[in-house]
Amino acid sequence: MRLIDRAVSHLETLLDGAAMAALILMMVLTVADAGGRYLFASPVTAAYEITEFYLMMAVVFFGLAGTERVDGHVRVDLLLNLMPVRLRLGLDVVYMIAAALLFAAIAWKSGDTAWMNFKANRWTGGAMPLPTAPSWALVAIGSAVLALRLVLRGVALVPHVVDGRMPALPHDAPADEAMPQAPADAGPAVPIRDHLPRTN
């Protein structure tokens, strides 16, 4: 299981890097398109289509799995915090497995659509036609990796459901790392302003 988790983590790191590169390229392309349009009356051809069909898909779907790995998705856990630990963790397992099935279905359908578009040689319209298959492929790749991450997290929670102990969150740091402590013989803390030189 650790080997699979490590492989998925490496894949998530690659996708995170690709998502960041797509975001940077999207910002550069948007600025160039707006600047060319209003300053030189010459916008970048197909800037909107490239952003919509390729860059936006990469930014959204390539970042899903890496965000799930560090438990970074937004969650409303007001009621969950009031539940017993075993019930809360059990619901987390059910949610992760259900979400994994959902995104596996999305990956399967979008991958099939990408293949059909590729075989049919489908392109967008407009001044600069673009192939539609890569757009669906980006959705399939991101959804498939997210499904794998959800399964791994769900399986990792099962032992904690049995023993009733809350697992450490991926982004949690030990207390001695999160808040540096002063040495025991350092004496009382002195305000910073007392060390500043006095000026007349």
Query: How far apart (Å, rounded) are the C-alpha atoms in residues 191 and 184?
Result: 18
Residues in contact with 109: Cβ distance below 8 Å, sequence separation at least 6, in sequence order: none
Q: Is residue 67 helix, strand or coil?
A: helix
Q: Report the C-alpha gap between 195 and 7 in whole angstroms.
A: 51
Collapsing DSSP states into helix, strand and coil, what is residue 35? helix
State pLDDT tens for residues 30-71: 999 999 888 888 888 888 889 989 999 999 999 999 999 988
Q: Could you write out the DSSP letters of every residue in 87-143?
A: HHHHHHHHHHHHHHHHHHHHHHHHHHHHHHHHHHT-B--SSS--BSHHHHHHHHHHH
- Summarised one tens digit per residue, pLDDT across range 179-188 is 344 444 444 4
CB atoms within 10 A of CB 154: 18
DSSP state string for 130-191: -BSHHHHHHHHHHHHHHHHHHHHHHHHHHHHHHHT-PPPPTT---HHHHS----TTS-S---
Tens of pLDDT, residue by residue over 156-189, are 888 888 887 777 766 544 434 443 444 444 444 4
Whether the predicted model's global pTM rises above the 0.85 cut: no
